[in-house]
Structure formats: structure tokens, C-alpha cells
Structure 1
């Protein structure tokens, strides 16, 4: 019998990865995003930090010495301080590895090997270890050792120039402030780890996962990958661009024949459904500027709210342009319990839960972001060591 979430006592659910232990050597965003997802799914994630603390601990906003940027990426994890260059630190890691299921690191290729903590160094201690390396270009190859952060990968992958092609009249690439490459790569790493766990159930063996930010970022340019190989006539106007209203803009996504036909009825031009310039997709694309100019004759006569009311009533995909703050106040997010409250030493703040729900497993951010080294004594005591 199918059991829905409505018939399950959510308070008694456990995470689907409960019982797994993760050693998290990662910093900044891509690796911590991956390991926070593992923590959200119930795994015990032990974040290994230096005495100075992970670099994100100083990122704004900082309240009373606590960064919510750090807390957002590391909620639900334990914090252990170790000197990885010391014999005592190395000994501690090797003892912990014996009972560890997953290791995640995003140092530049070669760093973990120099610390004698590479996959080849550790697999002999634990054949079931799943070891995930996240790097800019992959672990091998001519670019492997190049330093890379998300903005560099955006440029290197062609993403920035692809995005620029949708901004008519501009030749300078956009500034970078939203780090797609980090989030996408961290999510791919999470999926690869889940796959490796499934494979381990059948083989009894772990493996090394090599996750490339460059390749991850390229997956966002699906159309452009094909257009780079085969000639496609560009549209006169980007197909998905702001549509002006009397007091702002809306996004209207005409992505199917049904949405096109419905929109034409909404704007009072049902005759355009069979018009020779617009009836077929290929003709419509070639005359996209004329089509959208006609849509804006209608939209400019209405406010944004009036446009959206008409479009939503008809089932045309559309939205106002909102700030993140406005989006976070959406009643839909409240309905789904999309936001969790996390506590640190300075108080509380909100973070997103994973964007999926499971009918028989708990999916939620951990309630606390650990202080630096908060769990060092506890974790080391488990393997018979004192705090180093």
C-alpha cells in the first residue's frame, strides 16, 4: 500500500542516510553544500577544521563573531579541529577513517596526497570508504592543478558568454555574484555519493569519486552545447525576456504550443494562432520580436498585478520579478516547510531545507551550526584519543 506523508508521523521519521559517518575536509561552498545535504539526510558529518577555522566563518553576515553564511552551509555538522600536518592529526584521521563511510574534500589536486590522506593512502584502512574529491577541472589532465573558484569556472565553461548572448546590445560579460558552479557541483557530488553507496551494497567496496566543476557547469548549457556544433539561426529577441507592464516587468514563458495559443487568447489576438508569421514554431521563432512586441502592447496597458491575474487565470506560465526576500515570504514555501531555523552562538537564522520531500524519511537541515572545535574532544574520545 502506498503511504503518503500525510499518514506518517513526521516526528518519528529518520533520515535515509542515518547511521553513516562522513568526514568533511571541504571548504567554501561546493564541498560544504554537498556535505550539508548528506547531513540533511541524516548522516553524521564531522567537519575537519584548522585551528583558524574554515574561511567561511568570517563571511558576512557576521553577528557576534558567528557567520550565517558559514552556518547555512554547515548546519547539522560537528566541528573537529586537527592539525593535518602533525603526526597526531594524521593519526587521528587514520583512526577515524576505520569507522567512516564517506570522505569529501575539495582541495586542489595533490594536496591530500601530500598530507598522506589521499584515496590510495586510506582505502587500505577501510575498503568500504567512499572518497569524493571535488575540484575545478578534475583530478587529472593539463588543467588539473590550476586554482579555481566558481567565478573562474563560469568564465572557463563558456557559461558567461552564453548568458551574454541573451543580453542584446552588450559585449561585456556580467559581474559574478551568484555561484552556480559551486551549488551545481556540490549537488552532483551528492548524487554520485548516493550512487556509490548503492553500488557498495552490492560489491562491499567503496571507491574514489572525481567531480569536476568545469564539467558540472557545462551541464547548464544544454542548448549551447548543441548550438556550438550545429548552426541555428538566432532569434531576433531572446525567447525568455522581461515583458514590460505599466509599472514593471513580468516573465512569460511560452514553451509549448498550448501556452502560445492560450497567451494569444489572453491578449486578445486569437487570430495570431493561425497567422502565417506565428502558426508554426519555426516561423514564430523567426518572428519572435514582432510577436513579443504585440504581447507588450497588451501588457503595457496593465499593471504587473493585473497581467499576472489574467495570465494565471488562463494557466500561462508567468511570474513577477521578485527579490530573494520577497520569494522567501511566499506562502508556498511556508506551506511546504521549506525554511528551517538554525541556531548558533549568536542566535538564530533561517536556511533552506533540501528542495524535496520524502514520504518515509526525514529531510531537514540540522538545528545547529557548531562552534569551531565544539566536538573535538567528543569525537576523538570515540577512537581512544585525547584532544590534540
Structure 2
């Protein structure tokens, strides 16, 4: 029995934000009905595949039921209403206005089921100048300022490695839905949640964009302490063309490393302003890290109290003993799952459930 056992969720969303929200609920015992078009959720067809299903699809849709409906038909709409009548949560990820035109906007749904918590997830929200602007993750990151600091030494922004706007919206949506469910216990009524990928990203810049938040200058990576301007929060190439990072700027780490490298004269630079004032220290570290391979540095740092990490690819990362020790990748029925990051004391080891075949439940 999970923490959310007994809750019923109807999820019309696709791709990342909504399915991530609802799979975290399913992992905790909620009954999630995934309502798909007759052609199926597009991520079902996204390679690579394992044990007959897309790895992407399985990891975001395990433990759910699947109902395939044509919401432009009377039969499809009637079937969705039947699900809504029994639901605690309704999730949709259409562009603003689409679900209302289908007859399932919040007003219509809440008038029929006043206790429902209704969550809309979109790129820029249900209202505002950008509400109807089409966008996936990278375009949202670009509009929110984040892509400007996802740049290399030449200042050229690069495609981000993580779909941060998608995932921020999923996490924000989950938090909001759970808050609304707690609120329902007091009021007896559900609520409406307007989750925007754009809105969900903005709080993530408070530590880097303070001046811009206050109306001043934007951060520039080369001179910002968390974006590449600080020697001890930076990426360094090694002798074998791989990379390592220093990931902690505390002076104790600066002293520990520079003393071990017989350069105590450079310790004071670790407290200098990021950018040009740390250029000498950055240059020294670039030179020194090129003298050994990545794995040689891993061995060298083993007995040093320094915030250091090798840059691993995903295959290397998933092979780390830490993954096995914490049970973060679980294999079942020939399929690999990323285990839920939310855990509770006293729980049994997590066992993945299967992802539904299209229309398996109606």
C-alpha cells in the first residue's frame, strides 16, 4: 500500500511533464488511468526499446492503466466523463484552450465533480502574451534566460543536456496537486492548478541571476561564481581527453587541494572574485589536470577532502557501485527502470510494475 493508495488520477498528458507527475503518483499507489489517442502516446514509438517497449515510455508510464479514446466522438467523450466522475485528479497537457473546446475545461469538469483537482500543464501558462506560443523544453529555457548561461567559453549557447523546464513543471505540478489534495481535506472542494514550464523554471535562477531579478545586469558565465568564473567550480580536461570537475568553492577545499599540489601561494586566489581575478588559478589548474588521465586523478583524489568528481557518461554513471547500493536501477521482466527518488522509512524494496499496452484497460 503506497502513500497515495485510493486516489484515482485521469491523465491526458503526453511526453515528459505530465507523465512524470503521474508516474510519481502511480509509484506511490495511486490508480492512474492514462487516456491516450487511438494512435497512442507518441513516446511509445521512441527508441531505444527493451522487452518490447520504449524505455522512455516504460519509465514514465509504469503502473498506469491505458484507455484509448477518440475525444471528438460521443462514445469517447462519454467514456472520459465516466472516468472523471470517479477521479480525484485530472491532468491535461494540451495547448491552452484545446481541452475546453473538447468539452472538458475546468468549469465543465468541476461542475460535474466539485472535488476534483484539475491540473493543466503548458509551456507558458493558460493566460498571458505567450500563452499560445508553441514551445518544447529548450525554447522555454531560451525564453526564461537559462539558455544564455548554458554556454561554452566562446559564449555560444548549446543545446541543454537535461529537459529542465519539462521536469521542473512535472515536479511543480506534483507539489501543487498534493497541496490541493491536502486543501480539499479542509474545504471539501477541489481546485484548479495552472502549471507553466516557464514559471516553474524561474525560481531555479535565484542563485545566479540576483542582479537581473532586481532589474540590473544579467549574469555572464565567464564572471559568475557558479557558471564557470570560479576555479573551484569548473570543468577541466585531462590527459586522455576526458574531464573532471571541481565542485565546491569552500576555502577548506581550496586549501586542501593546493597544499597537496604544493601551491599554497595560490590559496588566496580561491577567495577572489570570479572571472579575471581567478584567471591565474584557473590557468594553473587547467595545466595541472592535463598531466594525468581522468582515472589517475580519481585515484589521486581518493584520500583528499576536496569536492571533486570525474565527468562520467551515462553508461559509466549507471555502472557506479553507488547506483547498485541504493537500488537506483532495477531490472524486472527483462526491462530496466529508474527507481523512484522518493523513499520512506520502513518501506520494502521497490518493485517496478509494468507499463500498459495501448488501450489495455478500455
Report the TM-score, using the length of structure 2 for normalisation. 0.89
Question: What is the aligned counterpart of 1:369 among 351, 355, 359?
Answer: 355
Query: Are residues 1:88 and 2:71 paired?
Result: no
Root-mean-square deviation over aligned CA pairs:
2.3
The answer to which of 264-273 and 230-239 deviates more is 230-239
CA–CA distance in 2 between the matches of 1:68 and 1:19?
28
Answer yes or no: is the 8 Å Cα contact 1:342–1:369 preserved in 2: no
Instruction: Encode CA deviations 1:62-113: one digit per residue, 9 max, x unaligned.
Output: 4686322211211111101122122222222222222211111100011111
Q: CA deviation at 1:128?
A: 1.5
CA–CA distance in 1 between the matches of 2:158 and 2:235?
17
Answer yes or no: is the 8 Å Cα contact 2:254–2:270 preserved in 1: no
Q: 1:306 to 1:262 in 2, by over 3 A?
A: same
CA–CA distance in 2 between the matches of 1:192 and 1:363?
27
Question: What is the aligned counterpart of 1:123 among 107, 110, 113?
Answer: 110
CA–CA distance in 2 between the matches of 1:163 and 1:271?
32
Instruction: Encode CA deviations 1:22-63: one digit per residue, 9 max, x unaligned.
Output: 001001111111111111121111000121111111111246
Q: Unpaired segments of 5 or more residues in structure 2?
A: none
Query: Are residues 1:201 and 2:189 paired?
Result: no
In structure 2, what is the equivalent of residue 352 of structure 1?
338
CA–CA distance in 2 between the matches of 1:91 and 1:235?
58
CA–CA distance in 1 between the matches of 2:53 and 2:238?
43
Question: What is the aligned counterpart of 1:66 among 46, 50, 53?
Answer: 53
**What does 1:210-289 correspond to in 2, within 5 Å?**
210-228=194-212, 229-231=215-217, 235=223, 238-239=229-230, 240-247=233-240, 248-273=242-267, 275=268, 278=269, 280-282=271-273, 286-289=276-279
CA–CA distance in 1 between the matches of 2:279 and 2:335?
45
Answer yes or no: is the 8 Å Cα contact 2:13–2:91 preserved in 1: yes
Q: 1:65 to 1:330 in 2, by over 3 A?
A: closer
Instruction: Encode CA deviations 1:159-181: one digit per residue, 9 max, x unaligned.
Output: 111212xx22243x313564222
Question: What is the aligned counterpart of 1:149 among 109, 127, 136?
Answer: 136
Answer yes or no: is the 8 Å Cα contact 2:51–2:335 preserved in 1: no
Q: Secondary structure at the match of 1:89?
A: helix
Q: How many residues align?
A: 352
In structure 1, what is the equivalent of residue 169 of structure 2?
185
Q: Unpaired segments of 5 or more residues in structure 1?
A: 1-13, 377-388
Q: Secondary structure at the match of 1:272?
A: helix
CA–CA distance in 2 between the matches of 1:169 and 1:112?
44
Report the TM-score, using the length of structure 1 for normalisation. 0.84
Q: 1:362 to 1:36 in 2, by over 3 A?
A: farther
Query: Are residues 1:295 and 2:285 paired?
Result: yes
Answer yes or no: is the 8 Å Cα contact 1:354–1:363 preserved in 2: no
Q: Could you say which structure has the greater relative contact order, defined with CA pairs below 8 angstroms and 6 or more residues apart?
A: 1
